[in-house]
Each structure stands twice: as C-alpha cells, then as structure tokens.
Structure 1
Amino acid sequence: MGKTPDLTVVQKMTTDTLHKEGKTQKVIAKEAGCSQSSVSKHINPFTRLIERRREGKDVVENKCTSNRDNRTLERIVKQNPFKNVVEIHKEWTAAGVSASRTTTHRRMQDMGFSCCIPCVKPLLNNRRRQKRLAWAKDKKDWTAAEWSKVMFSDESKFCISFGNQVPRVWRKRGEAQNPRCLRSSIKFPQSVMVWGAMSSAGVGPLCFLRSKVNAAVYQDVLEHFMLPAADQLYRDADFIFQQDLAPAHSAKATSTWFKDHGIPVLNWPANSPDLNPIENLRGILKRKMRYARPNNAEELKATIRATWALITPEQCHRLIDSMSRRIAAVIQAKGAPTKY
C-alpha cells in the first residue's frame, strides 16, 4: 500500500474550511482535489494510528481458544493452584479444548497467573478465624498511645545456616573450588533459641534459652529478663505484656506468676504471628545477619547480640504503629491470614 500524499497549503485551507461547514470527507476531497484518505489524515491525524492499534488488537484477540475455553482454564487453575502446567494442560484438554502446552502457559500468563514460591502461613480453621476476627474488631479502636503500652515478646530459633537467605557469590573462571567462594554445607547445623521483647521505645535484653521451654523455664525468663526489659522500656509507667498461646505461656503456674506480680497480659488469638510486630523485627534481624558467617553456636550468639543492639527505637516505633493496619487487614480478610 502506497503512502498517502501530503496536502498542499491550499488543499489544507480548503479542507479546514469545508470541514468547519460540516461537509463530508467525500465532498471535501472532491472540492480540494485530493484523495479522501488524505482528507481523513489531515482532519484527524490520530485516526490511522487508532485503527492500526485496533487492527493489531483484533489480531492478538484472534486466538485459537474461545472466551469460554479461557474461563474453563481459569476455573481449573483456581480449583487447585498448586498443579503444574503439565497437569493443568492435561485437565484443560480433557475438558475438550484443543491447545498445546505452550498455549496453556501463555493463556495463564494472559490471565495474570505467575508461578511463585507460596507464602507460608499458620493453619487457621474456621473457629480460629472467627476468634481472630472478634479480637481485631475489639481492638480496632485502640490508639497508637494504647499500643505503645504493649510489650511484645516472642521466642525465635536462629541457625548457623540461613538456607536460601545466603547471597550469591561473585567469582572468576576457575574459582569454583576456591575456599573464599564456597558455601559450607552443614548436615546438622547448630542453632540457638532466643527470647526477646520490644515496645515502641525500643528492644529489651535478649535471653538465650538452654533447654526446652516449659512453664518453670519460662517463668525464670520472665523474672530475669522480662522484668528488666519492662524497667528499661517503661520505667515506672504501666504496661501490658503480650505473648502467644504456647503451652508454657498459658500454663496455670505462669498465669499465677503474672497475677502475683500484678502484670496484665494481653489476650491473644491463636496462630497469629501476623499480628505480632516482633515477628517483623526478627525478619529485620535475620536480614542484617545475612552476610555473617558464624562457625559455632557461641559465634552465632555474639552475632545475634551485636545485630540486636543495632535495632533502633525508630524501627520499633514504626512497627508498633502498624498495629492499626494489621487489625484492619484481619477484619478485611474476615480472620484469614494477612500479608503481615
């Protein structure tokens, strides 16, 4: 197809005048002595561009599968999103759709599906979701000042090997076996269990647990680490202590300990780490330790202590301020796990 010739100055003036008078493009072309396509191009220079885009869109949409076929595919994927492309393609073709495996994958991408590592969240049955939802509704009007009175706590496990968090290595050809470029493999990596607490004012002292945490061990932690943390973070001000529902935490002897010491405990829904900002603080801690290479448990403890000391009150304050957003997310999800 040849290129549409440009109009002369006189033809452009004639076209503009007749167009303002409401003449059709056919009449304008005859009066101006040019082709109708030249008139159309001059009147609306974007017409052809839009037409080309529409033509291209029509070509793209002219696919070998119908909208009904695509809806069937989307339903198959949503019914079991953990199936691989081969399994999904097999089920799709069994439904009477004629398409290749590549087409199946392409249609899934067109729908917005992408293959990702699934997020790991605690299992929540309907009863637990309802309790989370009720808890969130009860706390939705709490202010930032009220949340600042809460001391959040948690036990966390740290290993010498940090799995997939270990970064990639930059090396040259022939340096694959260079000790400087090797990542050590540990069959049974040493680990330590750590108890810690935080508030909007910062973090308290860490406690490295030497044995399995039962009620007696936990009360010892409360006596020698939680109380000093409260003195450090709240001084003489009142505070509320937060803990999850681990057996050692909810034991009758532990409840008695809190009553004897006059410390109120925040009621807490089960399996709700997304509501505890100290979980995010643990993530920050592990990211900061990503490049550390401790060789034994003692070096690991030293690394944890040094990294914990780098946590600023500002970081803690920002995490505590997120409580209102966490609660809103739980209410929106009707008690289901959230992104936090």
Structure 2
Amino acid sequence: MGLPCTTVQSVLKSGVEAPKKPAGRKPAITDKTRTRLIARATLDAVHRRMPYTEIARLEGVQAGRKALMAAFNMEAYGRRVATKKPMLTHAQKQARLAWATAHLNWKSEDWNRVVWTDESSFSTAGFGRVYVTRRPGEKYDQSCLVPKLRTHASWTIHGSISSLGKGPMVVMEKEWGGLTGKVYREKVLPWIYCFMYWVTRHPENRSRHAILMEDGASPHSAKLTKQVHNLNGVDKMYWPANSPDLNPIENVWRLLKQRVARKHPHTLAELRQCVETEWAALEVSDFARYVSSMNERCQAVISVGGGHTKW
C-alpha cells in the first residue's frame, strides 16, 4: 500500500475500526411525509375514498403502493369497506340526542312496555356473501355456484317484538300492491293492536299499557293512521328520523335473514315458507337481549352527540 511499517503497526495498536455502513435502507416515506399523507387522506369523505396512490400524487410524494400501505398501516389505517348508514342532518342528530337523553334512565319494566315494529324485505338473492368449501379447480362446479337470476323474488314482511315475546308476522301479499297507508291500517294494525293487548296483559307488565314504536314511514305517519291510533287510545312513542340503530327489531331482521339464507330458497314459495318457519322458531332469548341493550344504545348516542353508533 506504500505505507511505512511503523504507520501500519500504529493503526493496528490503536484499534481503529473501518467505518460502518448505515444500518438498513433510508425509509421511502419519512414520519413527516406520513403525517402529511394521513392528514390529506382523512380530510373529508371525498379524500377518504381516494386510493393511496392518488393521495400521494396530490401531496407530491413519489412512492410505490406497498410503501404507501406500510406507511398507513403504521398508524393503523387501512382500506376497508365503508359502512352503510342513513345520512343525518344537524336537526336529526339533535332529535336523536334528545330521545336518547329522555330514555337513558329507563328501567327494564319501562322497556318491557314497548312494542317495536318494522318492515323488512326478504329476497332470493340471499343475505351477504356465500362461502363454499372447494379446491382451486372446483370454482365452476355446480355445487359451488350461487344461482344468478335475472330478477330476484322478494317478500315484504311486517313484524313486532317486545322483550316479553314476539307478535304475528304479516306477509304483504302481492295483490295488496305494496304497503300503502290503507293496507297498513286494514291489514297490519289489527295484528299490532292484538299484540299490544297481549303485552299489556302480560304478568310482568301488571296491566301497564303497551307503547307502540313506529318509524316515520308514510304509511305509519299518515293522517288517517294517526286518527285510527287516537280512536283506539294507542300510546305511541315519538321516534327520531333515521334511527334504525335505536330499534332492536333491526337486529332481529339481520338474524332472521342469516337463518333464511342458510336454507337457500330459490322461489317465492320456498322463500315465504323459510321466512315463516324461521320467524316461528324465534325464541324470546333471540331478541330480548337486543331490547336489554337499549340503555347502552342511548348512552352511545349521547357519547357521539346524536351521531351514528355501532348498533
């Protein structure tokens, strides 16, 4: 190397080490850049729907998809399916907040009086995704397919529950032409009133009058419907708009649809039979637990200022 021996010996004795290379690769996205990216991605509903690559482009960041995913994952962010919920105006949030506050301290005997009602549609299209057990090459095996129909047959169902039992299920017959105010008053309300009488006379209620819960759908809120309620002395609960999370029967519909979907009905007749069978099979324990969560639901609404909850 052209160095004197004394110089080499001096270096060896001093123990000077060769300079080390920096450990690891310089991160493609720094902490500061990651903060910018997340701030942009969570700016509003429009930006939350943008893919990571578009967010990076807007911020002038050059990084690959994997690097962007890793950066967002570090802060527990991921691309997930958006939850469907009805939009709430400020006035609707305030109404929900007022309702939750008014009912927060209700006791179980108070909730026992409420008859929760609603309509739901059941379709041969099924409910949610269908999973099958198969090998990679069995994708198109007949037993692994879900029939794709041009049109899906469906039934609209009306149901009512309380923490003490369930009411009759009313199927909207095709010849009725849909759920109009007239159909609701003539075909559905008589069954609701019968169930309310049963709830009122239940030993746990000690003849305290049942309270009817209806949402604000036009057949329920029609002037003639209100007159019928008044003539029958119905005690009706005020209901805030766009509040399915406060109605425990919504959870019952979800449970019922899951059970019906397991039967794989393909025709109107099969679908109706499945729905009627599964409704009849519902036990009090299947829905009483949803009613027992009402105080928790009220607290959840209050905690988010009248906004949406997990229910």
Q: Shift in Å at residue 89 of structure 1?
A: 2.1
TM-score (norm 1): 0.77
**Offset from partner CA, 1:207-262 (integer Å, 9 cap, x none):** 01132222111112344321222244443631000000001111111111111011
Q: Distance in 1 between matches of 2:141 and 2:36?
A: 53
Q: 1:197 aligns with which of 139, 156, 160?
A: 160
Q: Shift in Å at residue 130 of structure 1?
A: 1.1
Letter in 1 for 2:167: G
Query: Counterpart of 2:103?
Result: 139
Q: Is the 8 A contact 2:213 2:239 kept in 1?
A: yes
Query: Counterpart of 2:8?
Result: none
User: Which structure is higher in RCO with an 8 Å CA cutoff and minimum separation 6?
Assistant: 2
Q: Distance in 1 between matches of 2:245 and 2:302?
A: 13
Q: 1:125 aligns with which of 89, 95, 99?
A: 89
Q: Distance in 1 between matches of 2:179 and 2:152?
A: 20
Q: Distance in 2 between matches of 1:208 and 1:64?
A: 60
What does 1:73-88 align with in structure 2 at a 5 Å threshold?
73-79=37-43, 80-88=47-55
SS in 2 for 1:195: strand
Q: Distance in 1 between matches of 2:38 and 2:220?
A: 45
Q: 1:149 aligns with which of 113, 125, 140?
A: 113
Residues 1:208 and 2:166 are matched in the alignment = no
With over 3 angstroms needed to count, the CA separation of the structure-2 counterparts of 1:85 and 1:220, relative to structure 1, is: same
Q: Is the 8 A contact 2:69 2:78 kept in 1?
A: no
What does 1:7-46 align with in structure 2 at a 5 Å threshold?
none
Q: Is the 8 A contact 2:124 2:264 kept in 1?
A: yes
With over 3 angstroms needed to count, the CA separation of the structure-2 counterparts of 1:300 and 1:233, relative to structure 1, is: farther
Q: Shift in Å at residue 174 of structure 1?
A: 6.1
Q: Shift in Å at residue 177 of structure 1?
A: 4.5
What does 1:188-267 align with in structure 2 at a 5 Å threshold?
188-210=151-173, 211-235=177-201, 237=207, 238-267=209-238
Q: Shift in Å at residue 163 of structure 1?
A: 5.1
Query: Counterpart of 2:309?
Result: 338
With over 3 angstroms needed to count, the CA separation of the structure-2 counterparts of 1:239 and 1:78, relative to structure 1, is: same
Letter in 1 for 2:40: I
With over 3 angstroms needed to count, the CA separation of the structure-2 counterparts of 1:138 and 1:170, relative to structure 1, is: same
Query: Counterpart of 2:271?
Result: 300
What does 1:286-325 align with in structure 2 at a 5 Å threshold?
286-325=257-296
SS in 1 for 2:70: helix
Q: Shift in Å at residue 183 of structure 1?
A: 1.4
Q: 1:181 aligns with which of 120, 130, 144?
A: 144
Query: Counterpart of 1:101?
Result: 65
Q: Shift in Å at residue 315 of structure 1?
A: 2.2
**Offset from partner CA, 1:278-313 (integer Å, 9 cap, x none):** 000101111112211212112111100111122111
Q: Is the 8 A contact 1:136 1:328 kept in 2?
A: yes
Q: Rg larger in 1 or in 2?
A: 1
Q: Distance in 2 between matches of 1:155 and 1:278?
A: 9
With over 3 angstroms needed to count, the CA separation of the structure-2 counterparts of 1:269 and 1:89, relative to structure 1, is: same
With over 3 angstroms needed to count, the CA separation of the structure-2 counterparts of 1:179 and 1:70, relative to structure 1, is: closer
Q: Shift in Å at residue 133 of structure 1?
A: 0.9
With over 3 angstroms needed to count, the CA separation of the structure-2 counterparts of 1:73 and 1:203, relative to structure 1, is: same
Q: Distance in 1 between matches of 2:70 and 2:189?
A: 60
Letter in 1 for 2:195: A
With over 3 angstroms needed to count, the CA separation of the structure-2 counterparts of 1:69 and 1:322, relative to structure 1, is: same
Q: Distance in 2 between matches of 1:169 and 1:85?
A: 32
Query: Counterpart of 1:114?
Result: 78
SS in 2 for 1:133: helix
Identity among equivalent positions (%) equals 28
SS in 1 for 2:255: helix
Letter in 1 for 2:146: R
Runs of 5+ unmatched residues, structure 2: 1-21
With over 3 angstroms needed to count, the CA separation of the structure-2 counterparts of 1:300 and 1:130, relative to structure 1, is: same
Q: Is the 8 A contact 2:197 2:210 kept in 1?
A: no
The CA RMSD over aligned residues, in Å, is 2.1
Q: Shift in Å at residue 98 of structure 1?
A: 4.5
